[in-house]
């Protein structure tokens, strides 16, 4: 895990702005505080902030090939770098380091832009090819590592985070209302759109090429599903293959020259990854977890049970309402976009615990729910799809109520409420987003609080179509579970789970997360699993449970899934809540930002305050957090962005001047 940044002259040459690149690197030093590197050319300037994980002494960046004609800055890990190095050496390539970074350089020389298809990893990198003065940027298949870019005054800027681009004061900072509309529909924006005007995000599984002043993007991978499935194969055979792929994925993701720990949430996915570390490697297992003072969200009993079962050295951080409120502004600085829940905040505190313990790397269970059918939204889809055939049935709401035995809910306690809520969208059963209509109905309530001007601007908008423009050709022929999984991976997984809850909360404390379930070989295998083996009746992740039943306690395997959540509006309306909440939601602040109606927001805040000791509806909680996070985003990036001081030349480990 590192931070990369830089700029590239689209036409002609220029004297590089050394002061600017030093500020850009400084802005993302939290991603890589171990050492800094920079390269200057009259065409390209590259910057790097390194977190040293592999080849601690020799992996400094920017790094080049033998004749210094190809240079790279790289964020991430190539897990199969050892195997690729053998192939490349046989092809005649000479290595001078033991790093995975150098493998990328030589793979680019050998395979060109198709080199990315050889990599098993998580990455965002930029290669400057000095021979033809081109730039090649690529992002991993699932979008684990971020990459943003813009063009201003004939110059292309890029970076792991948007704040590095904003270090140039000439780059305009303004909220993109279309992006905001998308986020308050899907919890994220659809690349290349972001919530900032003229700032683009490179989509997962895509590369970007700049040559002769032209910029183009190309897709090199996406997950697809078959139209038919093999039900003749035994469930045990599927489970055995799944287990083997997971063991290999975990082993690869333990490759590091520093200790590697693991998150242990109390749920199935982190239990799987930790058990595989324990049972199939010689790694000493150190585990980390969050406990909550509010028992409605706390899973510490299961965390302790799993830690005791595996004999791990376990570390716990406890989180309360005040912790969430006090750290929320810092969370938004790192997410660089609004969020609809506070759930990322405890995860940032957890990565802080990892850093304090002396670790740099952790394995986590992200991706399992999306690939194997773990979320309630998938079970909801199965029920709603069947229910649509009998829309007047009185019994379907009862089935839906069985999905939520663990949640602290309000009006969702009644089957009647669930029946009406999930019946919505039956007229759109053939739409690509059918599975996600209930979630969108909850999330989009925040748009009621938009100011009159924003509502007028967005009145003809269609954010619901944001992820429908690049669907696979045979998408309409897929099983409805496959469609739901595809949309979930393209939207929530890449744009929220791996971003706001993942990369950003880990790197805020200079921690690298690794995700065994997101090995692309495992994902491609999961796509071929029959839907009935993923969700058996209403038993989610059925095949994974079969694959791991001999290695986990029955209580963990059979436990009803509890979605990871954290206290939301309750955290900000307690008597000892920090004063910034009142300031940022004041009529003056709301009017200055111009995004929300102050009177409507005031009524919502009053309602949340009155219900401070109760659990509000999902809609009210999401609206409160969405408005608060948007106001904080405006304050930190629009009203008063602070450009850091530049890194001094003497502080660079690598300083390359090619002019």
Catalytic residue list = 2
| Torsion sign, CA atoms 532, 535, 539, 544 | positive
Pairwise CA distance, residues 100 & 541, whole Å:
34
* Token pair 């992002």 in the structure block, residue: 139
Q: How many helices (H) and strands (E) does the chain have?
A: 26, 18
Q: How many other CB atoms are found less than 10 A from the CB of residue 248?
A: 17
The answer to whether the bond into 192 is cis (omega within 30° of 0) is yes
Q: How far is CA 236 from CA 229, 248, 340, 543, in A?
A: 16, 19, 40, 9
Strands 260-263 and 361-363: parallel
Q: What is the DSSP letter of 282?
A: -
- Residue 240 C-alpha from the chain's centroid: 29
CA angle 524/529/533 to nearest 5° reads 145
* Token pair 């190809």 in the structure block, residue: 70
Nearest to 564 by CA among 268, 330, 189: 268
Pairwise CA distance, residues 651 & 468, whole Å:
47
- Residues 405/296, Cβ–Cβ less than 8 Å: no
If residue 73 lies in a helix (H) or strand (E), which one and from where to where?
strand 70-78
Q: Locate 87 and state its tokens.
A: 């192939």
- Residues 50/62, Cβ–Cβ less than 8 Å: no
* Token pair 């040459």 in the structure block, residue: 13
């Amino acid at each position: 895990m590192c931070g990369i940044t830089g700029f590239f002259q689209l036409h002609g040459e220029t004297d590089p702005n050394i002061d600017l690149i030093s500020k850009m690197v400084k802005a993302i030093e939290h991603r890589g505080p171990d050492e800094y590197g920079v390269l200057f050319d009259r065409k390209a300037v590259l910057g790097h902030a390194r977190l040293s994980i592999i080849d601690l002494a020799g992996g400094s960046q920017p790094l080049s090939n033998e004749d210094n004609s190809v240079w790279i800055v790289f964020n991430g890990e190539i897990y199969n770098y050892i195997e690729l190095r053998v192939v490349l050496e046989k092809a005649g390539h000479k290595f001078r380091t033991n790093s995975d970074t150098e493998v990328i350089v030589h793979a680019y020389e050998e395979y060109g832009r198709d080199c990315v298809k050889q990599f098993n990893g998580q990455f965002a990198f930029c290669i400057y090819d000095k021979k033809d003065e081109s730039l090649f940027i690529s992002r991993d298949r699932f979008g684990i590592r971020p990459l943003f870019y813009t063009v201003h005054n004939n110059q292309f800027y890029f970076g792991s985070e948007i704040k590095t681009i904003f270090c140039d004061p000439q780059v305009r900072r303004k909220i993109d209302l279309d992006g905001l509309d998308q986020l308050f529909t899907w919890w994220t924006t659809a690349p290349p759109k972001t919530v900032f005007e003229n700032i683009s995000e490179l989509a997962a599984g895509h590369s970007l090429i700049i040559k002769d002043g032209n910029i183009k993007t190309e897709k090199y991978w996406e997950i697809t599903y078959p139209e038919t499935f093999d039900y003749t194969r035994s469930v045990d055979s599927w489970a055995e293959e799944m287990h083997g792929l997971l063991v290999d994925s975990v082993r690869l993701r333990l490759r590091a020259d520093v200790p590697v720990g693991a998150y242990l949430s109390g749920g199935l996915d982190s239990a799987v990854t930790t058990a595989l570390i324990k049972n199939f490697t010689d790694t000493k297992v150190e585990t980390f977890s969050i406990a909550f003072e509010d028992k409605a969200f706390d899973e510490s009993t299961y965390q302790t049970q799993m830690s005791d079962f595996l004999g791990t050295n376990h570390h716990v951080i406890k989180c309360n309402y005040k912790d969430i409120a006090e750290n929320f502004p810092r969370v938004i600085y790192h997410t660089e976009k609004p969020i609809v829940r506070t759930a990322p905040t405890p995860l940032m505190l957890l990565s802080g615990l990892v850093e304090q313990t002396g670790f740099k790397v952790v394995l986590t269970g992200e991706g399992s729910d999306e690939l194997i059918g773990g979320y309630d939204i998938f079970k909801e889809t199965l029920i709603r799809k069947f229910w649509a055939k009998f829309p007047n049935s009185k019994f379907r709401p009862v089935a839906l109520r069985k999905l939520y035995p663990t949640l602290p809910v309000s009006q969702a306690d009644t089957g009647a409420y669930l029946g009406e809520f999930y019946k919505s969208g039956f007229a759109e059963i053939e739409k690509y987003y059918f599975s996600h209509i209930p979630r969108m109905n909850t999330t989009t309530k925040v748009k009621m609080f938009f100011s009159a001007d924003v509502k007028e601007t967005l009145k003809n908008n269609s954010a619901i179509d944001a992820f429908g423009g690049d669907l696979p050709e045979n998408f309409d022929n897929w099983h409805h579970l496959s469609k739901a999984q595809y949309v979930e991976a393209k939207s929530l997984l890449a744009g929220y789970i791996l971003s706001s809850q993942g990369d950003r909360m880990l790197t805020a404390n200079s921690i690298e997360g690794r995700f065994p379930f997101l090995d692309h070989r495992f994902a491609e295998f999961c796509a071929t699993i029959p839907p009935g083996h993923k969700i058996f009746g209403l038993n989610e992740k059925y095949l994974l449970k079969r694959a791991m039943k001999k290695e986990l306690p029955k209580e963990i395997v059979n436990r009803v899934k509890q979605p990871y959540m954290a206290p939301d509006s309750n955290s900000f309306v307690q008597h000892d809540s920090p004063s910034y909440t009142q300031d940022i939601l004041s009529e003056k602040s709301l009017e200055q930002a111009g995004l929300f109606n102050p009177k409507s927001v005031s009524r919502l805040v009053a309602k949340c305050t009155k219900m401070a000791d109760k659990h509000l509806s999902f809609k009210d909680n999401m609206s409160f957090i969405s408005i608060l996070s948007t106001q904080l985003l405006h304050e930190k990036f629009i009203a008063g962005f602070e450009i850091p001081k530049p890194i001094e030349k003497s502080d660079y480990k690598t300083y390359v001047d090619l002019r």
